[in-house]
Every structure is written in C-alpha cells, then in structure tokens.
Structure 1
Amino acid sequence: MKKVLVGGLCASLIVGLAACNNKEAEVKAPETSKTETAAAVEMALTSGIDFANFDKSIRPQDDFYGYVNGTWLKNTEIPSDRTSTGAFYDLREKSRDDVKAIIEEVAATPNLIAGSDEQKVADLYRSFMDTDTLNQLGTAPIQAELDKIAALKTKADLVSYFAHSQIIGSGTPFAFYIDVDAKDSSRYATHIWQYGLSLPEKDYYFNEGERFVNIRKAFVEHIEKMFTIAGFKDPKASAEQVLALETAIASRHWDVVETRDSTKTYNLYQVKDLAKLAPDIDWTGYLTTLGVQDQKDIIINQPSFIEGFNEVLKANELSTWQTYMKWQLLTHFAGEMTGKLDHENFEFFSKTLNGQAEQQPRWKRGVSTVNNLLGEVVGKVYVKRHFAPAAKERMQVLVENLRGAYGTSIDNLEWMSAGTKVAAKDKLAKFDPKIGYPDRWEDYSKLTIKADDLIGNNIRANELGHEKELEKLAGPIRKWEWHMTPQTVNAYYNPTMNEIVFPAAILQPPFFNMQADDAVNYGGIGAVIGHEMGHGFDDQGAKFDGEGNMRDWWTEQDLSEFAIRGKALVAQYNGYAVFDDLNVNGELTLGENIGDLSGVTIAYKAYKKSLNGKEAPVIDGLTGDERFFIGFTQIWRAKIKEESMRNRVATDPHSPAKFRSLGALSNMPQFYTTFDVKEGDAMYIAPENRVKIW
C-alpha cells in the first residue's frame, strides 16, 4: 500500500587520509602538530569513526565505500535469522532489545489494571508468545471469516467483503486509504491504490527467467501446503487458481516506476462517476462497508488498474474469488496461528524469497507485534530511557544549520531563475521539523487486548485504526500525527505536510554521536537531515509547494533544466551493477538518489558554515573534511542476502547502500579535492558530467 528506509571507536588504529596524492594502495597518515593534538584533547571529542572497519588495501579514490567499510564487509556474517546487517539494521536490533526490556518489565508487574496501557502491552505480548494456545486453537480464530467468505452469494457481496477484509487487516485486490489531498492540503481525501499480489511486484508473475519461474513454482507449492495444513479442500487445484487470479490482477498493475509519479497517480473522481470507470464493481456496497458512503469524491491512484480489474472481476467465477479471499485471510494471519502455518509462511516468504536461513526468535516477532499495534505506548517509555533532551537540542541546531545552507545553495544556483528561487526558499522556510517523538501521543483507550486472543487483538486493532482514519474526514488536518514510532530507526519527508521527521531511535551512533565532533555528525545525521529536506526538492517532492499542495511553481525553463539533471542522475545509477545480471534502476531510485546527493552536499556546506571561518581540528589524524566524508560513508555499511537484494532492486526506491555512498560522492567536487581523485580513478567523473541539482 502507499504508506509509504554500531561499532565502538578503535582509537588504537590510526588511519590518516590527508595525503591522498599518490596511487599507493595504502594511504599514508599525515603528521599531526602539537597544536592540533592539543586542540583535539581540549575538545574532549572523539572522531566518531570506527577505524577497525577500514580496508587499506582499497584505494579511496577507486572505492571509498570499500575503503571505509571493507574489513567490516569481509569479516561480518549476516545473522541466520536476518537477511541483512549493517548500520541501520544493527540499530534496529538495538531498538528491539530496548523495547523488549520495556515490555518484559511491564509484563512482570503484578496486578495490572484492566484496560490500562500497561495491561495491553503485557497481554498483547503474552498472546503472541503463548504458542501452546495458538496450536490448540488451530484455524478457529479465523473460522468466522472463513464462514463469511463461504456465504458470499454474489459479486456484489464479494466487493463488499473486499472492504471488510481490509478493515480487519486481511488482503484485498485494491486498497482504500485516507490521506491529505495532494492538491488541497487543507482537507483529507479518500484514495484507492492497486493491491492484491502475494509476490513482490508484477514482473514476478511474467518474467520467464529461471529465478522467476522457480519462484512461481515454489509459490504454488507453498499455497498447496498452507491449504493442506489448514484442512481446506482441493489444495492443489486451489493453489493453481490463486496463482492464475493473481497473475490476472498483476497484468493490470502499474509498474513501480509509474506508481511513484505523483502527477499520474492523482486522479480525482466524483463517486457518482465510478460506475463509468468500473461498472461491475458495486461501489455503493464497497464504500458503505468502509463507512464512507457520504463522500462526494475519491482519488483513484491507478485508474487503468481499476478499469482492468473490472474485467478480471467479471471473467472469474465467484468460487474462484472465494478461494482467493481464503488465501488472503490465511496468508495474512499465518504468523499468528499454529506453529506449522507460521513455519510454512516463513519457509516461502522469508527463506525462499529473501534467503533468510532461520526464523527470528519468537520474542523478536513479539516485540514487532507490540510495536505495530501499541507502538506509541512503549514509545513514551523508550524516549524517557533512551533519548536525552540534549540530543534534541543539538538536532534542532543541526536542522536549522542545514536549512540555512540549503537557502544559500538555492541562492547560488546558476540554472534556476529568481522567481523559482523565491518559491523554493518559501517552501524551505516552511519545512516543519519533528525530532525524537510526538508532542501528542496516540490514544489506545478504546482498544481491547486479551492474553489468549492474538488474532482477535490484531483484528480489533485494525478495526480501531480504521475508525480513527474515518474521523480524519471531519478535519482538521492532524499536523501532530507521526507515521513512525520513536523507536523506529528511520526518517521521512511528508510532502503534503511539508514535514521532515526524525524518530529518536536513529539519533544514535553512527548517525548521531553526542561524543563525537561536528564533522562526523554532519556527515552522518546531517546528511540524513539533508536527505529528507532533499525529498522536498526531488523529482516528486518538487511538485509540492510550501503549504503541501501539488502545483506548478516552476518556470518552464527551470523545470526543463531540473529534468536534464535528473536524467543525468538516472543514467549514472543505471550504470551501477549490483550483480553481473542486474543493475540499479535509475528511474525507480531517482527520488532517493536526489535526496542522497542533496543531503550530503548541503550537509557539507552546513558543516563548513558551522566552523565560522575557523579550521576544524585534526582528530585521530583526520582533518574535518576527511571525517565528514568518512562519517557519511560509514552510515551506509550493509550486507544483504542476494535473494533479498534482488527483491529490493525490483521494488525498493532506494539504491543499494554501496551506491548511495559512491553515487553521491562521485558528484561532489569537495570529495575530489579532499581525497585527490583524478582522471583514471574508478570514482572519477569528468567535471562537465557531474550532477549538481541543489
């Protein structure tokens, strides 16, 4: 659906990067003056760099990512219960450990008050961990829904059930959601988005390559096994039916590049005209079941999908659709039922599709369940324990310094006209930064949680979530709302709110280090801040103004210049080979690549501005500029299973971590100067071909 990315310092290993004017494999360390050493001691700050990760056999001019992270890449094994490891992923594990401690402490508290947040956290976790009860229950928790599916008499009943299925948290061929109207940010609007596939993307249903053929074969075998375990009739024939129907649905899907185009996906329809778009869909029953029957208009994100789906709906018998909906129900709740269903679900979606060797310990998945359903309850405690007020204050300074540097950069753009610059700076001034945690916390008072009813807990949480979404339609816009919990290791930009959001959990080393000097923090969290700001000015974010409205605030010439630069970046990333037979999709990743390039460029300018004309101290043998670029590159250290990486390249708008570093730095003149990158070096791009956007 639309909604919709830490090693300690080893001070004994001193690797200098100042003398980079040679072609030697090992870069020599510079001499450090007594004055510089004294300054570093006086500051009492570390460099914030983990030198043990470096691989000095790699020239930084050829592969800076490998130079900074190479030894870590060689020596690090991906844990068997994960598909990836690295800076982001390890912090997520730490956050999960921290939340586990909170949950277990709450669960150990005697005599919890019924209906309290503490009781809900404790009993939700217990309901997930009580595998004996889940095994005894079998498929009984979903029997009422299976009966409803079996009782469907008409296609109109079926369409109404699509809506009901989504409300309870199961699957549906197209998804309903409520979000700010992209062309009128003062109101919420209803939307419909294409959905309904079990495999990652439409190409998985049609690609005749061996890997995809094997995945489809394994998918059918998986469905058959799931239906057999659940005791459903005709498991083999049913599995073939599901694949055939999902293939028909996939044939009508827009691809991943089309779906990220905010102009193409904004299609406002009057509800009364939906019958013209798709006459065989009972829109009245569908919208009534959702509780939005009084809405006058709705945004259809992919109209041709809905038109095509209408034909798929007509062409397939009701019994086929009932089999498909049984599958949706079973696969969406498999991880919350018997051990056999849970294991088989893991075997296909985690092991076969993503290469995960072993299933995560149950407690990890239990913590994820609590985070998903009661995230801000534990988030309140998490913030108190793991996010100091001083960290928020320092982040606020960083954000404003980045904002100032962005403004200066806009002023200095040679390709942008004065009028467009005024509009760009107006948008920049209206960025709303949210740091750490919400000012107003989510209310869970209406949610009933029972220690012996895991699926019921999920369904009730989904139903309550739907009710809360419906309440938005009465307004006003909930500017206080967050779309990530404080314990989430991530960040985001929301164009219709024009907000940049940084949860507490990402504000830790190597991204944000309160013990390190400014250089590594500007290279780390500064680049993250700049990245999210950059989304406000990427190929899609730049379509929105400072109020969050999608409108054209560019001159025709400026927009043409902007597009030329975007095309150059697409070409650059298209040239990066992830595997011998697979390259980065430059079109799919364009927005994130603009964010990365803008982020590190503006963060560098902000860092230099923060020095107020003074020279940065040399710390651990490194100049400030060297620490900045290393700080940026070490946040991207990552290893990912090949199967998972292939899925990500097909579906993820982010480039693989290596190219997020190399791609951005290869366009920065300051990086060339700092590390003496010259023609003939692998990272060299001729000056006239380097991309500068913001």
Structure 2
Amino acid sequence: MIKAPLCAGLVATALALAGCAGSAPATTAVAPPAASPAAPPAAPAPKGVGLDVADLDRTVDACDNFYQFSGGNWLKNNPLPDYASRWGPRNLLGERTQKLLRQILEDAAANRSAAPGSNAQKVGDFYAAAMDTAAIERAGLGPLRPELARIAGLRDRMQLPALIAHEHELQTGVFFRGGVQVDEKNTTRYVVQMDQGGLTLPDRDYYFKDDARTAKVKAAYRAYMAQVFGLLGDTPAEAARNAAAVERIETRLAKDSRTRVELRDPQANYNQMALAAAQKRYPALDPARLLAAQQLGKAQEVIVGQPAFFDALNTVLKTEPLADLKTYLRWHLVRSVAPALPAAYADAAFAYSQALTGAKQQPARWKRVQTATDQNLGEAFGQLYVDQAFSPAAKQKALEMVNNVKASLAEHIQTNTWMSAPTKAEALKKLGALHVKIGYPDVWKDYSQLTISRASYVQNLLAARAWDSRQELAKFGGPIDRNEWGMTPSTINAYYNPPLNEIVFPAGYLQPPFFDPQADDAVNYGAIGGVMGHEMTHGFDDQGRQYDAQGNLRDWWTPADAAEFTKRAALVGRQYDAFSPLDSVHVNGKLTMGENLADFAGLTVVYGALEKQLQQRYGAGPRPNFDGFTPEQRFFLSWAQLRRSNIRPEALRQQILTDPHSPDQYRTIGPIMNMPQFQAAFGCQEGSKMTRATADRAVIW
C-alpha cells in the first residue's frame, strides 16, 4: 500500500482467468509420480512449517491456474461468514488478533482501579462506555444535541467558515479534506493542504452512473438518509426533501471532483497558492477565516489539491440555501457517529453498507468497538498490545529480512539494462535513504490531554477526534516528526510513505501466516518478504518514482529513462485491463498501476533475496525440500496462499471501482505470468496459461 500524504489494501475469488491462452501437461516438479511397485517405499517427505499442502487443489495444473492450484481446497472449505464481505488469511489472522485485543480490552474495562489519566484507564473506559448499549439507548441523541444545536444555530454565511472548521475538528467529513501535511516539494516543513471530499457514496462516479448495480446502491443511499432524518424527528416528507438536498449538494461536488485515476498524479494535485490568492478565488469558503478558526492564522499559503473542485465548492457555499447547507452538515455529523448512537442508527448504516458489500449481518458489537478503540486510541491501546504480542527477537528477524530485500533491490538497480547511470545513481541514493519502521513507534503518542470517561460513547468519540485533530494542526510551524506512525501497532497491513521515504510494518502483520520465525526461508520470503518487496518498490512505481531521496516531489529521471519506464508500465496496465472477474467488469489497469508495479517488482526483488539467502545457507550443496516442494516452489506457493480469498460480488464490484489494489487472484498470477523464475520452478511449458510469451512479458526491474 502506498501511503499518500493524507494511505493499506486488498480482494478476490477463485473465478475464471482472463487474458491467458494455451495449456500444458502437469509436471513431475509439482506432482511427483508414484514409485513403481518394485521400488522400495520412499521415505516420507519432510514436513515444513507455514504452508498447508492440504489446501492445494491437485486436480488443477499449477501451470494452468496457479491461483486455484495453490489454494483451491482452502477456497472451497472457507466460505464467507455472514458478517464478512471478503474472507482470506488476513481475516483469519484478524480474528486471532481480535481475540487477544478483546481480552486486553475486557481486562482494562474490568480494572476500575487503573490510575486516572493512564492509558489503561482511557482504553478501559472507552471500551466500557461503547459496550454499554443500555446506557446508549437511554441517552438517545442527548450527548449529540450540543453539536446538533451548533449547526441549527447557523444564522448567516459569515459563520460558515468557523462552523466548517469545527466540523473538521470533529472529523465529520464535510465539504472537503484539509489539514497539516508534510510539504511534498519541501519535506523539511509542514504546510496547510486542502483536497476534495465531502461525499457519502464511495466514489464520484456513483453519482453519475445509471446501470442497475449503481441504481441499487443509490436507492440504498437515499433510503439511508431518509431513515436517519426520520430518526432525527423529520416527517416522512421532510426526510425525503432533506435527503434530496444532501444528494443535490453532493452531486454538485462530485461533478468537479477528479477521478481516482486523476488523483494518482501527484504533480497535478500540488497547487501552491498564496493565502491572499486563495481568499480572492474562494471568498465564500473564506480560507483566511477558516484557518484562523483552526489556529492556523500564521499560514500564508495553502496547497490546493484540486482547484476546480474548490471553485465548485465556493459556488455551492454561495448559492445553496442556508437551510440546505445546515441539512448537509447535520447529515454528515450524524452519519459520522452512527455507531455510537442507539441501535436504530447503526442498523440504518449497515443496511446501506449491505448494498455496497453484500454482507449478511453486522460483526459482533465487541468487534466493532475493538476497531473503534484502535482507531481513536490507537497507540494507547497499541502499547498494551505489543507488551503481549511482539518480541524483540521477531523484530530483529524482520529487520534482517528487510535488509536482505534492500540489498537485492540495490543489485537489481545496478544491473538494470534500460536505466542510465545518472538515474541509477539517484535511485540508489533514494534506496540508501529509505527509513524502515518495524513493529511499533520508538516514541509513543502522549494522550495526557485527552479526557475519556464512562459517561458517553458519543462524547468519548468526539473528544478523541478533536484531540487528534488538534495534535495534527499543532505540527504547523514545527520540525518534521519522523517518529510518527500512520498505522497502529495491531494493524495487519503495511505502507510506504513517499514524502518521508519510509516503509512501515506494524507488529500485527509480523505474525503467522505472514511471518513465522519457525518457517523455512522460502515461506517467509514468499509471505512477509513479498510484502516488504512490495512496499519498498512503491518508492519506484509510477507515483513513488516522482519523489527523490529526501521525499521531495522532484523529477530525478532522465527523459529517456522516464519514457522507457512509462512504456514498460503501460504494458503492465494493458495486462491488468484484460482481467475480468465478473461479467462486463474489468480491472482498471490505470487505477491499480502503482500496486501492480509494486507486486511485479517486489516479487522479483524478493525472489533474488531468497536465492542469496539460500546460497549463503547451503552453498553449492543440496537444498532441502519440504512437503515434496523445492524452496523455489514453496516461495511461489507462499506468495499465492496469502492472497487467496472469497469475496461477495457486490464487494468485488466496489473494489474494482474504488480500490487501487487488483482483485487477489490477479495479484497472485499477474506478476508470476511474467516471471521465468516461476516457469522454471514448476516446469511450465511455453504456451501454458501461467506463462506469457517472451515478447509479451512485462519486465520493470
């Protein structure tokens, strides 16, 4: 996952492959023939750790459909739970992690003698208040009424900037996204940045498409709004009018929002304006008054991500009836805290999400509250987690693997045949400056100024959001905080952050099946090693390559090298455009370009790191096979088994529209179809479905 300055990731099912041709017979490398009756019985193959060969579907040829071969039995035996829209190894690890996190939370909630103001007190009280559904039902809208009254009290447009600033502090998502970010063209300082936002539907295109699937989602969206307005006391006619007003405002904003593909161009989304110029261009938004209300009055410039969007927003703020703007603000406030309100609000939100994801039931309340605790008290909660779940030895082994992958990438850059010496020198400089974070922060966040009690879930939620917003805004004018993490320690994910040129691997990811200190090298390199290579090579994908060693948005490529990279990347895009997991639904090769390139390059680089590791460990001697597979085969099996997943059609369609990651079956086979190393490992013949013709192969590094 590439973490753009405010960035995870993820999806698929075992469906028919597209864009492949030909077939090949099964090879003895994959399924050794049985010994002849006259031969003595063979000794049982040594069993390995980390791969379950019972999950393989041996009725399928690995060279014909490696996704099915590597995990077909697992896919058959692991149907989707009713509460899930996608189900794979990450979810299973999440279930296991959640059990530990639940125990931590319940212990904290039961500890009424925790020191006031301590992390244990805050985590315990947040969880206890959120789990007290009887108190939540009794309170009704009471804890939210001061905020509803603030919106109702809006009397004229001059008051709008301060109210928008307050809603942004509460993170209700109104009108646009804004805050303090590292300056992408001068990464030694923070700047104020504003980007498009303010929508309820997951993407701008939903507002304009009219196919049957989108119509179903929009009907659920309208019903959701009308239901919530009814719960707030509107008559059915008023609720319908108010829902229509919100949709009208959001459609106006969506019309001038950039597409997700357009948002992938960091240069186009960096538009520096003097505050005076922004004030003149967007007088209804009134940036000067807005920033003053956010204690950012010293800012003299802003980075406007999408100027045309803010032109549209300025018009909306100037021309929409004030009553409808208040309706829009009320909607987003209530929507943002629905999980902390009485059950009717959460049920309405889930009914809407069903149209998007196809999930049959909500996750258990404790799971939803555990997620909310992680989101709002992430490092206070995280400290309690790492004390029990992550050893220094595991951190050291993971760091050793990262260094090996880094060395392999350096070698790939040095031996690259299409890149010139000046560009190679810059690439090596950037790789050398890469910062690696493993497990958890070296410096934890200080929550001493945040007050949490058992009085109200809504109050706790809003207090935590306001505290977080103030922490972010307070960075302005200060030094860059390179200790900060963008994910919490228990998160099962990883990211690359371009302006800080760093890769980050939370402790939650560094456990089986993604990382197992007891497994052989091939399994670990195919699993967490593949993630390490993926995140590391994000620094050199179509987006990441535009940032230099210091994280600055600067073109360090020669024109010829940039053109060659673009040509090679375009071939990857065309390959993924051809993949179609559902009728008439194709992967978007441009939207998924960065993640696909990171999969391509990462897997190639990590394979090289594994070969070096095996050479160091065994030299010219024999390499041990486990479960009847060579280390090279186990590497690719490990890569594939961690990407197997079942997914509902609704969720898959939403993923293809909105997610920069390709569906999991194509993340699995897309890179290996281009790798002669895979072809050699499994003895695949030219023309097999998992082997692209040499002339059609994409090679980046």
TM-score for the superposition, normalised by structure 1:
0.94
Relative contact order higher in (CA < 8 Å, ≥ 6 apart): 2
Q: Which amino acid aligns with 1:545?
A: D
Q: Which residue of 2 aligns with 1:248?
A: 252
- Contact 1:26–1:56 under 8 Å retained in 2: no
Shift, 1:306, TM fit: 0.6
- Contact 1:26–1:57 under 8 Å retained in 2: no
Structure 2 unaligned spans of 5+: 9-22
Shift, 1:515, TM fit: 1.3
- Contact 1:169–1:462 under 8 Å retained in 2: yes
* Aligned mate of 2:599, from 596, 600, 606: 596
Q: Which amino acid aligns with 1:320?
A: D
- Contact 1:488–1:504 under 8 Å retained in 2: yes
Shift, 1:354, TM fit: 1.1
CA distance in 2 between partners of 1:502 and 1:688 (Å): 36
- Residue 526 (structure 2) pairs with residue 519 (structure 1): no
Q: Which amino acid aligns with 2:686?
A: E
- Contact 2:25–2:61 under 8 Å retained in 1: no
Deviations, residues 126-147 of structure 1 (Å, cap 9, x unaligned): 1101111111111122211211
Q: Which amino acid aligns with 1:477?
A: I
CA distance in 1 between partners of 2:61 and 2:561 (Å): 39
Shift, 1:601, TM fit: 0.5
> Which range moves more in the overlay, 618-627 or 224-233?
224-233
Q: Which residue of 1 aligns with 2:315?
A: 311
Q: Which residue of 1 aligns with 2:435?
A: 432
Q: Secondary structure at the match of 1:98?
A: helix
CA distance in 2 between partners of 1:396 and 1:247 (Å): 47
Deviations, residues 149-181 of structure 1 (Å, cap 9, x unaligned): 111122231232122111012231111121111
How many residue pairs match? The answer is 674
Q: Which residue of 2 aligns with 1:288?
A: 292
Shift, 1:198, TM fit: 0.5
- Contact 2:93–2:513 under 8 Å retained in 1: no
* Aligned mate of 1:361, from 333, 340, 364: 364
Q: Which residue of 2 aligns with 1:472?
A: 475
Q: Which residue of 1 aligns with 2:81?
A: 79
CA distance in 2 between partners of 1:190 and 1:579 (Å): 42
CA distance in 2 between partners of 1:450 and 1:369 (Å): 15
- Contact 1:430–1:498 under 8 Å retained in 2: yes
1:353-432 matches, cutoff 5 A = 353-432=356-435
Q: Which residue of 2 aligns with 1:263?
A: 267
* Aligned mate of 2:674, from 651, 667, 670: 667
- Contact 1:21–1:676 under 8 Å retained in 2: no
Q: Which residue of 2 aligns with 1:139?
A: 141
CA distance in 1 between partners of 2:561 and 2:173 (Å): 43
- Residue 284 (structure 2) pairs with residue 277 (structure 1): no
- Residue 484 (structure 2) pairs with residue 481 (structure 1): yes
- Residue 657 (structure 2) pairs with residue 655 (structure 1): no
Shift, 1:688, TM fit: 1.8
> Which range moves more in the overlay, 530-539 or 166-175?
166-175
- Residue 645 (structure 2) pairs with residue 638 (structure 1): yes
Deviations, residues 10-62 of structure 1 (Å, cap 9, x unaligned): xxxxxxxxxx983479952268999x989x96xxx824211121111111112
Shift, 1:2, TM fit: 6.0
1:179-194 matches, cutoff 5 A = 179-194=181-196
Q: Which amino acid aligns with 1:125?
A: Y
- Residue 325 (structure 2) pairs with residue 321 (structure 1): yes
Q: Which amino acid aligns with 1:654?
A: H
CA distance in 1 between partners of 2:666 and 2:67 (Å): 8
- Residue 54 (structure 2) pairs with residue 52 (structure 1): yes
CA distance in 2 between partners of 1:2 and 1:344 (Å): 32
- Contact 1:205–1:247 under 8 Å retained in 2: yes
Q: Which residue of 2 aligns with 1:534?
A: 537
CA distance in 2 between partners of 1:227 and 1:432 (Å): 48
Q: Which residue of 1 aligns with 2:166?
A: 164
Q: Secondary structure at the match of 2:189?
A: strand
CA distance in 1 between partners of 2:561 and 2:420 (Å): 7
Q: Secondary structure at the match of 1:579?
A: coil
Q: Secondary structure at the match of 1:501?
A: strand
* Aligned mate of 1:197, from 196, 199, 202: 199
> Which range moves more in the overlay, 519-528 or 669-678?
669-678
Q: Secondary structure at the match of 1:190?
A: strand
Shift, 1:192, TM fit: 0.5
- Contact 2:407–2:609 under 8 Å retained in 1: yes
Q: Which amino acid aligns with 1:538?
A: D
> Which range moves more in the overlay, 280-289 or 322-331?
280-289
Q: Which residue of 2 aligns with 1:618?
A: 625
Shift, 1:466, TM fit: 1.6
Q: Which residue of 1 aligns with 2:20?
A: none
- Residue 243 (structure 2) pairs with residue 239 (structure 1): yes
* Aligned mate of 1:122, from 102, 121, 124: 124
- Contact 2:70–2:640 under 8 Å retained in 1: yes
CA distance in 1 between partners of 2:540 and 2:613 (Å): 23
Shift, 1:410, TM fit: 0.6
Q: Secondary structure at the match of 2:7?
A: coil
CA distance in 2 between partners of 1:585 and 1:530 (Å): 23
* Aligned mate of 1:576, from 548, 571, 579: 579
* Aligned mate of 1:491, from 494, 503, 508: 494
Q: Secondary structure at the match of 1:496?
A: coil
Q: Which residue of 1 aligns with 2:16?
A: none
- Residue 308 (structure 2) pairs with residue 301 (structure 1): no
CA distance in 1 between partners of 2:597 and 2:281 (Å): 36
**Structure 1 residues 607 and 30, CA, compared in 2 at 3 Å: closer, same or farther?**
farther
Shift, 1:564, TM fit: 0.3
What RMSD over aligned residues (CA atoms) do the two structures have, in Å? 2.0
Q: Secondary structure at the match of 1:176?
A: strand
- Contact 1:169–1:458 under 8 Å retained in 2: no
Q: Which residue of 1 aligns with 2:700?
A: 693
Q: Which residue of 2 aligns with 1:330?
A: 334
Shift, 1:608, TM fit: 0.3
- Contact 2:30–2:629 under 8 Å retained in 1: no
Structure 1 unaligned spans of 5+: 6-19
> Which range moves more in the overlay, 304-313 or 202-211?
304-313
- Residue 380 (structure 2) pairs with residue 340 (structure 1): no
- Contact 1:30–1:621 under 8 Å retained in 2: no
CA distance in 2 between partners of 1:121 and 1:280 (Å): 41
CA distance in 1 between partners of 2:299 and 2:248 (Å): 34
Q: Secondary structure at the match of 2:438?
A: strand
Q: Which amino acid aligns with 1:642?
A: P
1:104-115 matches, cutoff 5 A = 104-115=106-117
> Which range moves more in the overlay, 465-474 or 571-580?
465-474
Q: Which residue of 2 aligns with 1:11?
A: none
Shift, 1:547, TM fit: 1.0
CA distance in 1 between partners of 2:475 and 2:534 (Å): 29
CA distance in 1 between partners of 2:30 and 2:394 (Å): 35
Shift, 1:81, TM fit: 1.4
Q: Secondary structure at the match of 2:480?
A: coil
Q: Which amino acid aligns with 1:660?
A: R
Q: Which amino acid aligns with 1:585?
A: N
Deviations, residues 228-275 of structure 1 (Å, cap 9, x unaligned): 112135111111111111111111111111112111111111111103
- Contact 2:541–2:598 under 8 Å retained in 1: yes
**Structure 1 residues 26 and 58, CA, compared in 2 at 3 Å: closer, same or farther?**
farther
Q: Secondary structure at the match of 2:187?
A: strand
Deviations, residues 529-570 of structure 1 (Å, cap 9, x unaligned): 000001000001001111111111110000000000111111
Q: Secondary structure at the match of 1:59?
A: coil
- Contact 1:58–1:66 under 8 Å retained in 2: yes
TM-score for the superposition, normalised by structure 2:
0.93
- Contact 2:48–2:520 under 8 Å retained in 1: yes
Q: Which residue of 2 aligns with 1:208?
A: 210
Deviations, residues 471-523 of structure 1 (Å, cap 9, x unaligned): 21132111111111110000001111111111111112221111111011111
